[in-house]
């Protein structure tokens, strides 16, 4: 039962990372639903996955609300649009929802790896969460400063921070796949 749940989570992360827009439809909508389904299945035995479920539900709600109202949930880096306070609040809420989801996933994987004695996976989950927290925490800290500087001055730094955040989130995808293999190997050795 855990193998399909990890596959759902992996596909959900992949679709939410490669967020293609077709009109008002985004592939991230499907990704968040898959994340919720996988986290729900795993949340029956591990409370951290219930946290991931709540975070992915919040991400889905924010994405649907943005699509229905036509509002942006990301930072327009390549144009000279002025960033307003409501936009910063929406972007901050989106980052916090991502952090809640990733905390639940990394902590759930860490707890299951500790229970199975997979110490390298425990360390990998912990370091991935620390990287995600540092990068997204820096983003949350720096967002209000974008109201006071020219975007052309901060574009390279924000692009670098965004690329680091993307890579850290992609690391969670590989962490989920690694956890699936580890849990599967532990199940085989128990037989």
Q: What is the pLDDT of residues 40-78, one digit of tens each?
A: 999 888 999 999 999 999 999 988 888 788 776 666 665
At 25, phi and psi to the nearest 5? -85, 140
Mean pLDDT for the stretch of residues 9-17: 91
Residue-level pLDDT at 32 = 92
Burial-class residue 121 by CB neighbours within 10 Å (0-12, 13-18, 19+): buried
What is the reported pLDDT for 69?
Answer: 80
Q: What is the pLDDT of residue 9?
A: 93
- Provide the whole-model pTM: 0.87
Q: Which residue segment(s) compose the domain that 162 sits in? A: 2-190
More confident residue, 139 or 151: 139
Binning pLDDT at 50, 70 and 90, where does residue 171 land? very high
**pLDDT for position 1:** 53
The region of weakest confidence among 84-88, 120-124, 174-178 is 84-88
Domain count along the chain:
1
What pLDDT is attached to residue 159? 83
* Per-residue confidence (pLDDT) for residue 148, from 0 to 100: 75
* 41-50: long-range pairs with CB below 8 Å, 24+: 41/1, 41/2, 41/4, 41/5, 41/8, 42/2, 42/5, 42/6, 42/9, 42/108, 46/108, 46/111, 46/112, 48/103, 48/104, 48/105, 48/107, 48/108, 48/110, 48/111, 49/104, 49/105, 49/108, 50/104
Over residues 101-126, the pLDDT tens digits come to 999 999 999 999 998 888 999 999 99
């Amino acid at each position: 039962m855990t193998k399909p749940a990890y596959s759902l989570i992996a596909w959900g992360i992949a679709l939410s990372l490669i967020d293609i827009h077709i009109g008002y439809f985004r592939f991230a909508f499907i990704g968040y639903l898959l994340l919720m389904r996988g986290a729900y299945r795993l949340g029956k035995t591990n409370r951290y996955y219930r946290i991931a479920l709540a975070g992915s539900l919040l991400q889905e709600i924010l994405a649907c609300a943005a699509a229905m109202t036509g509002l942006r949930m990301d930072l327009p880096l390549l144009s000279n649009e002025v960033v307003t306070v409501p936009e910063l609040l929406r972007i901050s809420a989106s980052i916090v929802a991502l952090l809640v989801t990733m905390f639940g996933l990394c902590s759930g994987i860490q707890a299951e790896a500790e229970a199975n004695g997979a110490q390298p996976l425990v360390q990998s989950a912990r370091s991935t969460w620390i990287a995600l927290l540092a990068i997204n925490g820096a983003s949350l800290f720096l967002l209000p400063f974008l109201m006071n500087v020219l975007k052309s001055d901060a574009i390279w730094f924000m692009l670098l921070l965004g690329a680091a955040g993307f890579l850290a989130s992609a690391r969670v995808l590989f962490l989920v796949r690694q956890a699936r293999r580890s849990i599967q190997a532990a199940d085989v050795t128990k037989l």
